[in-house]
A and B are shown apart, each in its own frame.
Chain A
Amino acid sequence: MLGYIIRRVLAVVPVMVIVALFVFLMLRLTPGDPAAILAGDSATPAQLDRIRENLGLNEPLHTQFIGWVTQMFRGDLGVSLISKTPVSTMIGQRIWPTLNIAVLTITLSVLIAIPMGVIAAWRHRSWVDYAVMTFSVLGFSVPVFVIGYVFIQIFAIELRWFPVQGYMAPSRDFVGFLQRAVLPAFTLATIYVALIARMTRASMLDVLGEDYVRTARAKGLRENVVLFRHALRNAAVPIMTIIGTGFALLIAGVVVTESVFNIPGVGRLTVDAILARDYPVIQAMILLTAGLYVLVNLVIDISYTLIDPRIRY
């Protein structure tokens, strides 16, 4: 077990090296002079020289790469071309709203979707099943911003239960955070509930046909014990995979929701950086997202071995 985890963690290294290499080369291999790109349109030749000197652009490529990686490891992600503040500070400020909303969204999705999927599979081809499946199709197909605006219209403007937009850090005021985060979280959750419920249902349908489910019933166990203790854990591996990838996607792909609800998260930071060609920020965000994906996959892989004792690598 420990050996597996160590091997699995070590396997992360080559992936991250390749990602880092890609990000490093992105700037160096784009047509034109990286210094010119970094300096922007109104730079003087003296400024360009200074940038080249600072970035070590006059040195051979591999020396540059090693220097750059060392710099990354020290937490120095460079300085934004636009705001002239360190990228690490910028991301540090913006990551928390995104993370907090993501955690809330995934928690909500799991709590709603898993019982939905289990019950749909249990009552296969009944009206409950059809209702869940219909919801799933809708959840997939309606665009996020439509759901967001509909929620705002109903719950914020008509019913006045929640504020329309904005964000509050949970450390400052947890209730305030929840009030502002509930609508974006539900908006985002719609698609994840659809996805996870569907996966749970499919996986449970497979498992419910298995012999050990019949054995569990033959023991005289209650249906909820049969479903949740015996069947669900056996159905859990694909569900975990979806939840994990869903979480990773939430970090990088919440731009629309952050815009609709005016949340100062990393999604908007990334979009602004891309529009402004703020290369250091873009590079840092690629690195961060890739790192997060790798980390989530690591956690999912390790969780498999906890769920299913037969899985040993």
Chain B
Amino acid sequence: MQFKTADLSAAPVVLSIRQLSVGLSGETTKVLDAISLDVREGETACLVGESGSGKSVTSLAVMGLLQKGSLEVTGGEIVLDGNDLLRLTPSQMRRIRAQRIAMIFQEPMTALNPVMRVGEQIAEVLKTHTDMSAGDCKARVLEIMEQVHLPEVPRIYRSYPHQLSGGQRQRIMIAMALVLEPKLLIADEPTTALDVTTQAQILSLIAELQERHGTAVLFITHDMGVVAEVAHTVHVMQHGRIVEQAPVESLLRRPREDYTRTLLSSVPSLVPRHVRAESRQQEVLEVRGMRKVYGGNGWFLRRPGTLAARDIDFSVVRGRTLGIVGESGSGKSTVARCIMRLVDPTEGEVRVAGIEIARLSRRALRPHRKHFQVVFQDPFRSLNPRWTIAMSLTEGPLNYGMRYSESFARAEEMIELVGLPRDSLHRYPHQFSGGQRQRIAIARAIMMRPDVLVADEAVSALDVSVQAQVLKLLGDIQQKLGVAILFITHDLRVAAQICDDVIVMQHGAIVEQGPAAAVLSAPRHEYTQQLINAAPGRHWDFANFRELETA
């Protein structure tokens, strides 16, 4: 593993945060508690921590963009080039933004104005902060767009954000941030919403531009793999405090604090878990020759549809887990939706518990729906906020004619099975954390005693430590109930930890399939190899604080 080791102690300090405290307005609760850190010219300082640790608040405080009326700085200083930013007037602060400090955000789709051409959004920065003529502005924008390696620059200049891919949008964000060559770039989870291969490209782009301009980078992430790739120094945050700061290599090899150790140990390993014995159980889900074409039947004109999945063949037996791995647009979610008949497959067979369901009418399908249940990605949106947990859990069985007392008893049993107390049933979703809500979503799914549990990116929205717990829970439930799990994920690390078998999808087709151990440690298809090579920190065994032996 090649870490960044450059000695930057001689380089001038660009940003110095001293004893910065931020509190909720009108309350004594501290969101940030006296944090201090320096970022030097050419340095990448990583702020790592789980959600709620205060890393984004730190970055917004530096930008002077804390939400008015809810968060305010209560002490300390933020020094940039010798000026305390906290003492500047709003108009002085506006001049600092984009010129001295720029920021890129996590979600490039929502961070760009959807109704404005992207070229104009970059040009706006120049028009606000310089007195360049319109022609010079445009020339400079085209130049910076070239620098971030966007293709067909003149066409993209005129495009709206929704016409670009995620990677292109993030390149636009980077171009916008760097067009005035700021001294400090704050990158808040800049690759979290991107596919791994795109992530690798964006990370190397940031590194390239940093090297060219000597920019100081404050890089916020929750992903230890990314930290291992990009950081010079790492600041680990928890509950609004910095618990440990160290150069990247010593932090990963010799973490001093317990919290850092826990955090690192939770990172799922890319090495597939030990192989479970082949099961001779019956097949509970069998898919043959499935194909899905979206659209293509307009009222007036027949347009060619979009081929989202083709030649899909696989089967899952009771008690085993099959992973479907792929990047966005690979068709993995389409496959899941077809199996659950949330959409109708165009061709092919889907057998669940021996019954062919691909062609059943909605009405004829109803009695079979209980055989397959799903857990979705975002636990904040998949539970009805106005319903108690008991209502969410018992709804399914009640629909199948179970008596309320019986289904409530089962709800009590299931909520304990997922590790929550019985009285949770009388509470509402907002009273639970993300991890707890995902447990509730799992309890809801297993209420129906399904044969197949479909987990659609079920741990992707969770922090690593919570992720590890939920993965373990899924494993335990599988052992107790013998349910087959279809696990859809973009995350190879997660797939390596939970799947017995893996399917790799690209452009709607299966490119490789087999036992997880074989596919992930010795990939045969070029695309699988690409995916694994793009996984950040792939040579490092985080949980054991050393290089991966197999690497």
Q: In the complex, what's the smallest C-beta–C-beta distance from B215 to chain A, in angstroms?
A: 16
Do the beta carbons of B113 and A218 come within 8 Å of each other?
Answer: no
Interface size on B (CB < 8 Å)? 28
With an 8 A cutoff between CB atoms, is A216 at the interface?
yes
Do the beta carbons of B103 and A308 come within 8 Å of each other?
Answer: no
The verdict on A211 contacting B115 (CB below 8 Å), with A220-B96, A220-B129, A222-B94 known, is no
Q: Which residues of A contact B128 (CB under 8 A)?
A: 219-222, 225
Do the beta carbons of A210 and B162 come within 8 Å of each other?
Answer: no
With an 8 A cutoff between CB atoms, is B116 at the interface?
yes
Do the beta carbons of B115 and A218 come within 8 Å of each other?
Answer: no
With an 8 A cutoff between CB atoms, is A62 at the interface?
no
Most chain A beta-carbon contacts within 10 A, residue among B111, B112, B129 = B111
Q: In the complex, which of the residues B69, B97, B111, B115 contacts A234, with contact meaning CB atoms closer than 8 Å? A: B115
With an 8 A cutoff between CB atoms, is B314 at the interface?
no
The verdict on A310 contacting B160 (CB below 8 Å), with A210-B110, A218-B63 known, is yes
With an 8 A cutoff between CB atoms, is B296 at the interface?
no
Looking at chain A's contact residues, is the secondary structure mostly helix, strand, loop, or mixed?
Answer: helix
Do the beta carbons of A308 and B97 come within 8 Å of each other?
Answer: no
**What's the Cα separation between A222 and B98 when bound, in Å?**
13
With an 8 A cutoff between CB atoms, is B283 at the interface?
no
With an 8 A cutoff between CB atoms, is A215 at the interface?
yes
With an 8 A cutoff between CB atoms, is B221 at the interface?
no
**What's the Cα separation between A274 and B114 when bound, in Å?**
49
B113-155 vs A: 1/0 string, CB under 8 Å?
1111000000011001100000000000000000000000000
- In the complex, residue of chain A having the shortest beta-carbon distance to the beta carbon of B64: A217
With an 8 A cutoff between CB atoms, is A125 at the interface?
yes
Q: Which residues of A contact B96 (CB under 8 A)?
A: 220
Do the beta carbons of B124 and A219 come within 8 Å of each other?
Answer: yes
Q: In the complex, what's the smallest C-beta–C-beta distance from B65 to chain A, in angstroms?
A: 6
Do the beta carbons of A211 and B107 come within 8 Å of each other?
Answer: yes
Do the beta carbons of B125 and A219 come within 8 Å of each other?
Answer: yes
With an 8 A cutoff between CB atoms, is A214 at the interface?
yes
Q: Which residues of A contact B160 (CB under 8 A)?
A: 309-310
Q: Which residues of B contact A125 (CB under 8 A)?
A: 69
- In the complex, residue of chain A having the shortest beta-carbon distance to the beta carbon of B301: A3
The verdict on A219 contacting B111 (CB below 8 Å), with A125-B69, A310-B160, A310-B162 known, is no
The verdict on A220 contacting B111 (CB below 8 Å), with A310-B160, A310-B162 known, is no
A119-159 vs B: 1/0 string, CB under 8 Å?
00000110000000000000000000000000000000000
Do the beta carbons of B116 and A230 come within 8 Å of each other?
Answer: yes
Q: In the complex, what's the smallest C-beta–C-beta distance from B400 to chain A, in angstroms?
A: 38
Do the beta carbons of A217 and B115 come within 8 Å of each other?
Answer: no
The verdict on A218 contacting B112 (CB below 8 Å), with A211-B107, A310-B160 known, is no
Do the beta carbons of A219 and B97 come within 8 Å of each other?
Answer: yes
**What's the Cα separation between A310 and B102 when bound, in Å?**
28
Do the beta carbons of B113 and A215 come within 8 Å of each other?
Answer: yes
With an 8 A cutoff between CB atoms, is A307 at the interface?
yes
With an 8 A cutoff between CB atoms, is B105 at the interface?
yes
Q: In the complex, what's the smallest C-beta–C-beta distance from A263 to chain B, in angstroms?
A: 39
Q: Which residues of A contact B124 (CB under 8 A)?
A: 219, 221
**What's the Cα separation between A217 and B66 when bound, in Å?**
11
Do the beta carbons of B95 and A220 come within 8 Å of each other?
Answer: yes
Q: In the complex, what's the smallest C-beta–C-beta distance from B482 to chain A, in angstroms?
A: 44
**What's the Cα separation between A181 and B128 when bound, in Å?**
42
Tell me the chain B residues, 45-102 only, with Cβ under 8 Å from chain A.
Answer: 63, 65, 69, 94-99, 102
Tell me the chain A residues, 29-70 only, with Cβ under 8 Å from chain B.
Answer: none
Q: In the complex, what's the smallest C-beta–C-beta distance from B151 to chain A, in angstroms?
A: 21
- In the complex, residue of chain A having the shortest beta-carbon distance to the beta carbon of B173: A215
**What's the Cα separation between A234 and B114 when bound, in Å?**
8
Tell me the chain A residues, 194-220 only, with Cβ under 8 Å from chain B.
Answer: 210-212, 214-220
The verdict on A212 contacting B113 (CB below 8 Å), with A217-B65, A219-B128, A221-B124 known, is yes
With an 8 A cutoff between CB atoms, is A233 at the interface?
yes
The verdict on A214 contacting B98 (CB below 8 Å), with A221-B124, A221-B128, A234-B113 known, is no
Do the beta carbons of A211 and B97 come within 8 Å of each other?
Answer: no
**What's the Cα separation between A212 and B128 when bound, in Å?**
17
Q: Which residues of B contact A210 (CB under 8 A)?
A: 110
Q: Which residues of B contact A234 (CB under 8 A)?
A: 113-115
Q: In the complex, which of the residues B63, B97, B114 contacts A212, with contact meaning CB atoms closer than 8 Å? A: B114
Do the beta carbons of B115 and A219 come within 8 Å of each other?
Answer: no
**What's the Cα separation between A310 and B115 when bound, in Å?**
8
Q: Which residues of B contact A214 (CB under 8 A)?
A: 65, 105, 111
Do the beta carbons of B97 and A218 come within 8 Å of each other?
Answer: yes
B155-180 vs A: 1/0 string, CB under 8 Å?
00000101000000000010010000
Q: In the complex, what's the smallest C-beta–C-beta distance from A205 to chain B, in angstroms?
A: 13
**What's the Cα separation between A247 and B528 when bound, in Å?**
59
Q: In the complex, what's the smallest C-beta–C-beta distance from B120 to chain A, in angstroms?
A: 10
Q: In the complex, what's the smallest C-beta–C-beta distance from B16 to chain A, in angstroms?
A: 21
**What's the Cα separation between A307 and B97 when bound, in Å?**
29
Do the beta carbons of B176 and A219 come within 8 Å of each other?
Answer: yes
Q: In the complex, what's the smallest C-beta–C-beta distance from B70 to chain A, in angstroms?
A: 10
- In the complex, residue of chain B having the shortest beta-carbon distance to the beta carbon of A308: B115
**What's the Cα separation between A216 and B176 when bound, in Å?**
11
Q: In the complex, what's the smallest C-beta–C-beta distance from B8 to chain A, in angstroms?
A: 26
Q: Which residues of B contact A225 (CB under 8 A)?
A: 128
Q: Which residues of A contact B65 (CB under 8 A)?
A: 214, 217-218
Extra contacts, 11 of them, besides A220-B125, A220-B129 (Cβ < 8 A), are A124-B69, A211-B107, A212-B111, A212-B112, A215-B111, A217-B65, A218-B102, A219-B98, A220-B98, A221-B94, A309-B162
| Complex A-B: 5 CB contacts under 8 Å | A124-B69, A211-B110, A214-B65, A215-B111, A309-B162
Binding site for B on A (CB under 8 A): 124-125, 210-212, 214-222, 225, 230, 233-234, 307-310
